[in-house]
Amino acid sequence: MNVLEIDQLCKSFGDHPVIDGLNLSVPEHAVFGLMGQNGAGKTTTMRMVLGLLKPDSGTISVCGERAVYGETAANRHIGYLPDVPEFYAYMRPLEYLRLCGEITGMRPDRLRARSEELLQAAGLWEARRRRIGGFSRGMKQRLGIAQALLNEPRLLICDEPTSALDPIGRKDILGLLSAARGSTTVLLSTHILSDVERICDRVAVLHQGRIVLEGALGDIRRRGTQDGYRVEFADDGTAEALAACEELRSAGAQAERSGSAVTVKLPAESGGQLLIDLLSKRQWAPVKLERLEPSLESLFLEAVQ
């Protein structure tokens, strides 16, 4: 079942179309990375899912329930972590969670148990007597996740949750989001590709208002239009000869030499056979031949160019 379904969504600001026929399905229990350049419309999309912004057209369903601008009914399925969560600085974490739980009508015994459990999971139990005003950005982000998970939402939406954090803070947040996948579905917007590679099982790239690339991370890698190899020789001369080889160029390949190794990028349809045939015909025996996994960065750049 899909926790989130977006169908033909459009949104313009003035005469500037930001979202232009967006379709997106987020399956249950995925950690789904919504990628896009600055200004691609990731936050705009999330605000429409939360009913905070009115789409010009199109539909959004959360757990089968229509999300409507200005109405909060579909939001009971959603936990939301904004990029910079705001807190009352004078409060302590348990007080803050109690306030949030009371606002949404949680039962007092359930609220207490859930708050304690989430503070432990977020690594904030030791800090439970400190005021939030003295928390680091990473601690605030972890408290934000605890708060967003309080009501056991089916969908946790996080808007660039790691962008302001140092590597340790990032690792903590990614660990928490990854652990949350057992109990919820995580939709995470980001332009940090290494974060996506670390925790997401599905990704979508938003560009010019639409999804231009979408799927499971492994499938997307296989779908790249270039097939890369690294060929290493015992000497620089053979590497130079391969890099300059006319047959590679006429097959639409790119070759780049570094010392005695050559990186060859072949069009996907020609496959590695072309390279193997060439090495055998010229009797250029490599000491090492490896296939390169396309990086998410190269796939992302290919999708948005």
Residue of 12, 13, 57, 113 that binds ligand ATP (CB under 6 A)? 13
- Of the pair 83, 240, the CB lying nearest ligand ATP is at 83
Q: How far is the CB of 295 from ligand ATP (least distance, A)?
A: 20
Sheet holding 210-216, edge to edge: 78-81, 155-159, 185-190, 31-35, 202-207, 210-216
Contact partners, residue 17, CB within 8 Å, separation at least 6: 10, 11, 209
Secondary structure E strands in the chain: 2-13, 16-27, 31-35, 57-62, 65-66, 78-81, 155-159, 185-190, 202-207, 210-216, 226-232, 254-258, 261-267, 288-292
Distance of CA 191 to the CA centre of its chain: 7
- Sketch the per residue contact string, 245 through 284, with ligand ATP: x for CB under 6 A, - otherwise: ----------------------------------------
Residue of 3, 6, 9, 18 that binds ligand ATP (CB under 6 A)? 18
Q: How far is the CB of 227 from ligand ATP (least distance, A)?
A: 31
Structure tokens at 195: 């974060």
68-104 residues labelled b (16+ CB within 10 A) or e (exposed) = eeeeeebbebbbbbbbebebeeeeebbebbbebbeee
Q: How far is the CB of 191 from ligand ATP (least distance, A)?
A: 6
- Of the pair 38, 273, the CB lying nearest ligand ATP is at 38
HSE toward the beta carbon, residue 120, CA cutoff 13 A: 6
Q: How far is the CB of 267 from ligand ATP (least distance, A)?
A: 31
Q: How far is the CB of 204 from ligand ATP (least distance, A)?
A: 12
Contacts of ligand ATP in 169-208 (CB under 6 A)? 191
Q: How far is the CB of 18 from ligand ATP (least distance, A)?
A: 4
Question: Interacting stretch for ligand ATP, rule CB under 6 A, among 33-41, 245-253, 259-267, 289-297?
Answer: 33-41
- Sketch the per residue contact string, 71 through 110, with ligand ATP: x for CB under 6 A, - otherwise: ----------------------------------------
Number of Cβ atoms within 10 Å of the Cβ of 113: 11
- Is residue 15 close enough to count as binding ligand ATP by CB under 6 A? no
Contacts of ligand ATP in 34-73 (CB under 6 A)? 36, 38-44
- Of the pair 43, 270, the CB lying nearest ligand ATP is at 43
Residue 65 β-bridge partners: 62
Structure tokens at 65: 């329930």
Q: How far is the CB of 5 from ligand ATP (least distance, A)?
A: 20
285 phi and psi, to 5 degrees? -90, 115
Task: Report in angstroms the alpha-carbon separations of 244 from 40, 237, 292.
Answer: 39, 11, 20
Binding site for ligand ATP (CB under 6 A): 13, 18, 36, 38-44, 191
